[in-house]
Amino acid sequence: MKIFYLITKSEAGGAQTHVAQLCDYFGKQNNVVVMSGGQGWLKEKCDELKIKYIENKYFSNSPNPFRIWKAIHEIKKTADEFQPDIVHCHSSSAAFLTRLAVRGKYKTIYTAHGWGFNLGMNHVVRFLVLLTEKFTAKYTDKYIAVSKFVKDLGVKNGLPEGKFEVVYNGINRGTGNPEKLRIGTSEEWGMLNSKINLIFVGRLAEPKRSEMIIDVISNFDEKTKNKVRFTIVGSGEKKEYLRNLAKEKNVEVVFTGNLEHSEVMKELAKNDIFVFISAWEGFPYTILEAMSVGLPVIASDVGGISEIVDNTVGRLVKNETSQISSALLELIDGRELREKLGDNGRRLVGSKFSLGKMLEGTEKVYIEILKN
């Protein structure tokens, strides 16, 4: 089987991780080609996996007609040379351009990790993206939604329900073995550092709202504030703003920048509570990774997050300082509760959100569309 994967950006991120997982699995027994913009993280992963990577330097979210035409030309040229059995696109821009280029000539799947018309986005942008999505739906054999929320939002906005399949993101169960990652327990780490350690992992850009965590910590009483350390893993346009805010609010924040995945997992395992505040989401990988090493999770009740997080593994909150503060104080002061929620989360990831289940679900979609 020949599989052609396309995604807009090659940078480190959840959708890119997803594509790399598919390449690792399907690349062992199939002919796989990846097209993306830039020479970033995904390109490095493809090199490691010995998967052919083609840079499309015209991939972007720009409405520039020349870039759009050139990007489509590059997709069409590669597809016609490769003659794939399946074209599998990820991210809204690459998916739109790919389906315009292919126009039903090859079996086409679009994995929606979220929508360009997500709730909370600019109304004009939402309208235009939805318009393009409805137009290209006729060139889509199957949508894979990474959560029920993503599927329901697509169907609610007029996309054909019969073309949808929900396949949750998944992670390798091996990554979830805390014994391989921890030196002692998270509580022992906290004792060694005399701190309760909070951590966020993700891009420092919209829709992520790590600044709300800094604001909440700054309003704790001095005793609580002094026993909390907040680690932010990632980079992006908000980084300097967050640095300045932490300094202004006198909150202890450690900025690690981008880390290799193995280092991210080690960093997660050193901490006590995972915090993820965001304006909108599809189905974040980082929450699964945090749960896999036994961290309780405090996360915004947006997108598909409620399909992962409930009161048995953490706390769902509205993006309001009062709710975030209450949830944080409950877990900061509750050692036994943290351990209980963390253990529940680790078991949930192993049973429901394993990498094996994700790959099996994707393979099932491939088989189905090739039969038709």
Quote the pLDDT of residue 61: 82
pLDDT in tens, 70-79: 999 999 999 9
Query: Whole-model pTM above 0.85?
Result: yes
pLDDT at 353 over 50: yes
What's the total number of domains in the chain?
Answer: 2
Residues 206 and 155 in one domain: no
Residues 275 and 315 in one domain: yes
CA dist 272 and 335 (Å) reads 9
352: which DSSP letter? H
pLDDT at 179 over 50: no
pLDDT at 147 over 50: yes
CA dist 179 and 293 (Å) reads 9
Residues 100 and 193 in one domain: no
Q: Which residues contact 273 (CB under 8 A, 6 or more apart)?
A: 196, 197, 198, 199, 295, 296, 297, 298, 328, 331, 332, 338
CA dist 252 and 227 (Å) reads 10
pLDDT at 208 over 60: yes
Residues 40 and 133 in one domain: yes
CA dist 14 and 305 (Å) reads 14
pLDDT at 97 over 50: yes
Higher pLDDT, 188 or 47: 47
The CA-atom distances, in angstroms, between 142 and each of 111, 238, 365 are 8, 36, 8
pLDDT at 312 over 70: yes
Residues 157 and 249 in one domain: no
**What secondary structure does DSSP assign to 242-309, as a single string?**
HHHHHHHHT--EEEEES--HHHHHHHHHT-SEEEE-BS--S--HHHHHHHHTT--EEEES-TTGGGT-
Residues linked to residue 5 through DSSP beta bridges, in sequence order: 34, 88
pLDDT at 188 over 90: no
Strands 86-90, 107-112: pairing is: parallel
Q: Per-residue pLDDT averaged across 351-358, rounded?
A: 94
User: Contact 292/313 with Cβ under 8 angstroms?
Assistant: no
CA dist 345 and 94 (Å) reads 33
Rounded percentage of the chain residues whose pLDDT exceeds 90: 83
Residue 129: pLDDT band by 50, 70, 90 thresholds? confident
Count CB neighbours of 66 within 10 A: 9
pLDDT at 117 over 80: no
User: Contact 329/346 with Cβ under 8 angstroms?
Assistant: no
pLDDT at 41 over 70: yes
Residues 284 and 304 in one domain: yes
Q: How many CA atoms lie within 13 A of 100 on its CB side?
A: 17
Higher pLDDT, 187 or 257: 257
pLDDT in tens, 315-334: 999 999 999 999 999 999 99
pLDDT at 180 over 50: no
Residues 199 and 319 in one domain: yes
CA dist 103 and 94 (Å) reads 14
Q: Per-residue pLDDT averaged across 289-304, rounded?
A: 96
Q: What is the CATH number of the domain that holds 360?
A: 3.40.50.2000
3-class state of residue 19 by DSSP? helix
Radius of gyration of the chain (CA): 21
Residue 54: pLDDT band by 50, 70, 90 thresholds? very high
CA dist 55 and 132 (Å) reads 24
Residues 154 and 270 in one domain: no
Residue 105: pLDDT band by 50, 70, 90 thresholds? very high
Q: Per-residue pLDDT averaged across 27-54, rounded?
A: 96
Q: Per-residue pLDDT averaged across 247-266, rounded?
A: 94
Quote the pLDDT of residue 362: 98
pLDDT at 260 over 50: yes
pLDDT at 297 over 90: yes
Higher pLDDT, 192 or 160: 160
Residues 19 and 32 in one domain: yes
Residues 57 and 110 in one domain: yes
Please report, for the chain, how many H helices and E strands are present, in that order: 16, 13
Rounded percentage of the chain residues whose pLDDT exceeds 70: 93
Range of the domain at 203: 173-352
CA dist 107 and 102 (Å) reads 9
User: Contact 292/310 with Cβ under 8 angstroms?
Assistant: no
Residues 165 and 260 in one domain: no
- Take residue 189 and report the two structure tokens written for it: 């780490």
Quote the pLDDT of residue 102: 97
Using CB atoms within 10 Å of the CB of residue 92, give its burial: 0 to 12 exposed, 13 to 18 middle, 19+ buried.
buried
Q: Per-residue pLDDT averaged across 288-314, rounded?
A: 96
pLDDT at 364 over 80: yes
Mean of all residue pLDDT scores within the chain: 92
Residues 144 and 227 in one domain: no
Quote the pLDDT of residue 63: 82
